[in-house]
Structure formats: C-alpha cells, structure tokens
A and B are shown apart, each in its own frame.
Chain A
C-alpha cells in the first residue's frame, strides 16, 4: 500500500518535471523563432492590438473599481487609529507592487491567454498548423514567437494603466467621497512610494506576460482531438496560467527582496 503511494507520487513528480521541461523547451523555441528570419512585424502588431489594445477598457474598469474598493477598506481600518492620511501610500504600494501586476496578469491570462489557446488549438485540430509546416513555414516564428513577445511587452503597459486607474479610483474615494485633503493624499504618496516599487510591479508583470503566453500557446499547440480538445486546452491553459501567476508572485516578491538586500538597498 505504502509502496504504491510512493510509486504514485514518484510518477507524478516525474511527469511534472517532464512537463515543465517540455514547456521550457517550447518557450525557448518560441523566443528563438521570433528572432529568426523573417521578422514577423505585422504579426507582432496584430498581437499587440489583440493583447494590449483590446484589453484597454477591461483593465481600466477593473483598475478603477479595485482602487475604489481597496481605498475604502483601508479607510475603514485607518479611521479607527486616526491614520487616514496614510491611505494614499498604502493603496499605492499595494497596487503598484502586488495587486496591479497580479490582477492584470490574471485578467489578461483569462482574456488573451484563453483566446490564444483556443485559436492555436483550433488551428491544430483543423490541420492548419500541419498546413503551415508542410508549406515550409516555421510555426514558432509565425505563431508562437509574436504572441509571447507581444504579451511580455503588453502586460507591463496594461499594468501601468491598471495602476493609474486604481489610483484614480482611490483618489475619487478618499478626496471626493470621504473628503480628505487632496494635497495630503498626493504628498504622502510622494514621501513613501518610490519609483523602484512601480518598476518592481512592471517587472513582475512582464514575467507574468511571458508565463501565461507560453502556457496558453503550449496548450493550444499540443491540442489533441476535436472541439472537446480545444475546450480542454483553453481551460487547462487559463487555469494553469492563473495558478502559476499567483504562486510565482510570492517567489518573485522574495527574489526581489533578496536582490535589494544583495545590492544594499532598503526594500
């Protein structure tokens, strides 16, 4: 009994390591494919438009309401200890370092990542990827590379947009609704929040963009079966991306702290 449990765990571990290795190799091929000739400028622009431009409204909206809700909760807590003048920096730190990149990553993984997995999966089951292969077209160069690069660049830009609208939401609640002084709100943020915190969030967002695009394109590219296979690939792609983003966020946070510690900068 115990032996079979160990065997089961061992097999699962081996499968996980193998799957991870395959995804890493796939991401390498995707990146290598993008930098191989010919340069797929038009395809890259199309993916920017799809990942970035088409996500603009949803990110602005969620950013605004996240800022409103977070500022309200912080206000409720800080009012008790008479520290309402710190609402601005607390919200700004929370948004720029954690909530901005994580929520943007999750939203874009669900919207754009899901669509990537479904699109590439459909191309796989309809033999369109085989058609590209036999036409002598490098599918990593044409399909995978531009999607990964567009996601790596678009996700930090969308995170900056999320941060902006979240802070606008926080300002509306704190200044316009609660009635605190606008100058104090901005002055405290200016005193406490450093530019490096914003870049820290944007760096994490770029990693999340890389992660969800690799996972979703990998799932789509290896789709098997018909419509059911496409559905499964999309579902697995989105769920794996979301879980990975949340888990990875914790490790990235610690890595960044370690980096600050190594270079002798306070975090």
Chain B
C-alpha cells in the first residue's frame, strides 16, 4: 500500500489516465459521463465501484477503446487512445486481457480452442507450442485437463469464468480487466473467483488489474485502489481505508449499506 501511496504522491506512472471525460449517446442532449477524471496506478489491483447506471461499464469500454469519448482525453499505458485510428486500436488492444461478465467464450470452440484462439491469431508459435501454452494457462487458473475438450455449454459457470480468465491471460497482457466477475455467482464461487483474481494479480508483478464491481466486500478486500463513481463522475478514489474515513454522505451510506448486505 505504501508503494502505491508513494507512486500516487510522486505522480509516477499510471496505467490509465482519464481526463475530463464527457460521453453522450444522443448527440449531446444528455451525458452519461460528466467531466470524469481518474488515474489508475500502474501495477495496482483497482476496483471501480458504484450504483447501477453510474457509468462503470461505460468507463471500462472507454479504457478498452470500444467507445470514444464525446470530449476528453484517455491515456492508456502512455498512449493517447483518441489519436489512434480504429486499426491502431485493434493492434493496441492486444496489450489487454478481459474477463467478461458472461465469460464470452466462443460457443463453437472447445475450452482448449478458446484459449488457443488469441495465440493462433497473434503469435508465430507452432501448433504444439500453442497447445502447450494454452494448457499451461488453463492449469494456472485451476481447470482440470478432463475439461479441456469440452464445449463451454458442457461446463459449469465457475469453469467458464476460469476458461475466460485463461483466455484473457493467454497473451500475457499488461492490463487485465474484470467486468463484474462475480455477478450471478453463488457465495462459494464468488470467493473462488475473488481468490483467483488476487492470485493472478500477485503472480504477475507489474500487471495492472482493473475490476468493475458492485460487490463492495470483495472490492475492499482484494483491491489496493478503489474508485467510486456517481452520476458520471468519480466521487472518491484512493486506497480502501479512505472510504471508511470519508465525510461524503453518499459514500458513507453506500459503504455501510454494502458492507451490511455482505
């Protein structure tokens, strides 16, 4: 935590810097994001939290370059996304790994083929090596070899998440994104996924992990940097303890209610 604080104080490298972001989906009549500023420290495990409809997923899509802001600047790994063409963005996104809420596995491919896919697309490795790397990634996330040749529809939700994470890790990304990774999972599976995120983060020093979540207990337990959004702006950001000592009423209510529910 101290390292992170020092980083923040010394204005060291940030994985992403969002400056004065505005986003409208209806030609400027209404704004979903209103002048948002957010800096995510490199190497941190960051949780972006907030009520439903506050713009968490929209922000994630902006950082991924899937949405372009109406106004404002987005820097990811020191690259200004707004200056990139669509084609340059396609190439740049290879630095990312994303675990989607639904795992987003390709349903016509087996578990192993899903993990092989990004390796086939982006590496010059031979087939045997690709399979070896994919198997290694699947084992890293704790998936047994017996499931490698099954289709996504033939495995459980937890296994699908593990497969999705293995696929996200396949190209050794510099930033790993988790979009609501525990939504719809039972408490045991939720804990398993949380542990998996922490283990993955710890096993990859220097890698930045960004998690979108409404699971407050998990966010405060596993993240070392938290940002809370409200009405398209960052209400509060910093290490988790900042959220317990704040005077902002909305944050206090959100944290108390969330922690009670957990």
Asked whether A136 lies within 8 Å of B100 as measured between CB atoms, the reply is no
Asked whether B106 lies within 8 Å of A136 as measured between CB atoms, the reply is no
B99 to chain A: closest residue by CB = A131
User: For residue A138, which residues in chain B have a CB less than 8 angstroms away from its CB?
Assistant: 87, 90
Q: Which of B87, B93, B117, B122 contacts A134 (CB 8 A)?
A: B93
Interface string of A111-131 (1 = CB under 8 A from B): 000000000000000111011
Asked whether A126 lies within 8 Å of B121 as measured between CB atoms, the reply is no
Q: Which of B94, B101, B102, B107 contacts A135 (CB 8 A)?
A: B94
The 5 closest A-B pairs by CB, nearest first: A136-B94, A127-B104, A131-B104, A136-B93, A127-B100
Starting from the known contacts A133-B93, A138-B90, 9 additional A-B residue pairs (CB-CB under 8 Å) come to A126-B107, A128-B107, A131-B100, A131-B104, A134-B93, A136-B90, A136-B92, A136-B94, A136-B122
| Known contacts A127-B100, A127-B101: A135-B121 contact under CB 8 Å | yes
Asked whether B93 lies within 8 Å of A135 as measured between CB atoms, the reply is yes
| Known contacts A127-B102, A130-B100: A135-B66 contact under CB 8 Å | no
Interface string of B68-110 (1 = CB under 8 A from A): 0000000000000000000100111110101011101111000
Give the complex CA separation of A131 and B165 in angstroms: 12
Give the complex CA separation of A41 and B92 in angstroms: 25
A-B contact pairs, 5 of them (CB 8 A): A127-B100, A127-B101, A131-B104, A135-B94, A136-B91
Which of A162-191 touch B at CB < 8 Å? none
- B118 close to chain A: CB less than 8 A: yes
Give the complex CA separation of A133 and B96 in angstroms: 11
Asked whether B121 lies within 8 Å of A134 as measured between CB atoms, the reply is no
Interface string of A122-155 (1 = CB under 8 A from B): 0000111011011111100000000000000000
A29 to chain B: closest residue by CB = B86
User: For residue B118, which residues in chain A have a CB less than 8 angstroms away from its CB?
Assistant: 135-136
A228 CB to nearest chain B CB (Å): 17
Asked whether B66 lies within 8 Å of A133 as measured between CB atoms, the reply is yes
B170 to chain A: closest residue by CB = A135
B117 to chain A: closest residue by CB = A135
A30 CB to nearest chain B CB (Å): 14
A111 CB to nearest chain B CB (Å): 19
Asked whether A128 lies within 8 Å of B66 as measured between CB atoms, the reply is no
User: For residue A126, which residues in chain B have a CB less than 8 angstroms away from its CB?
Assistant: 102, 104, 107
B37 CB to nearest chain A CB (Å): 24
- B211 close to chain A: CB less than 8 A: no
User: For residue B117, which residues in chain A have a CB less than 8 angstroms away from its CB?
Assistant: 135
- B193 close to chain A: CB less than 8 A: no
- B40 close to chain A: CB less than 8 A: no
- B64 close to chain A: CB less than 8 A: yes
B94 to chain A: closest residue by CB = A136
Which of B14-63 touch A at CB < 8 Å? none
User: For residue B106, which residues in chain A have a CB less than 8 angstroms away from its CB?
Assistant: 128, 131
| Known contacts A136-B90, A136-B94, A137-B90: A130-B104 contact under CB 8 Å | yes
Asked whether A134 lies within 8 Å of B98 as measured between CB atoms, the reply is yes
A137 to chain B: closest residue by CB = B121
Give the complex CA separation of A144 and B140 in angstroms: 34
User: For residue A137, which residues in chain B have a CB less than 8 angstroms away from its CB?
Assistant: 90, 121
A127 to chain B: closest residue by CB = B104
Give the complex CA separation of A118 and B118 in angstroms: 24
A57 CB to nearest chain B CB (Å): 23
B128 CB to nearest chain A CB (Å): 19
Give the complex CA separation of A126 and B101 in angstroms: 9
B114 CB to nearest chain A CB (Å): 9
Give the complex CA separation of A46 and B102 in angstroms: 26
Asked whether B64 lies within 8 Å of A134 as measured between CB atoms, the reply is yes
Give the complex CA separation of A134 and B90 in angstroms: 7
Asked whether B66 lies within 8 Å of A130 as measured between CB atoms, the reply is yes
B97 to chain A: closest residue by CB = A134
A142 to chain B: closest residue by CB = B121
B106 to chain A: closest residue by CB = A128
Give the complex CA separation of A137 and B105 in angstroms: 15
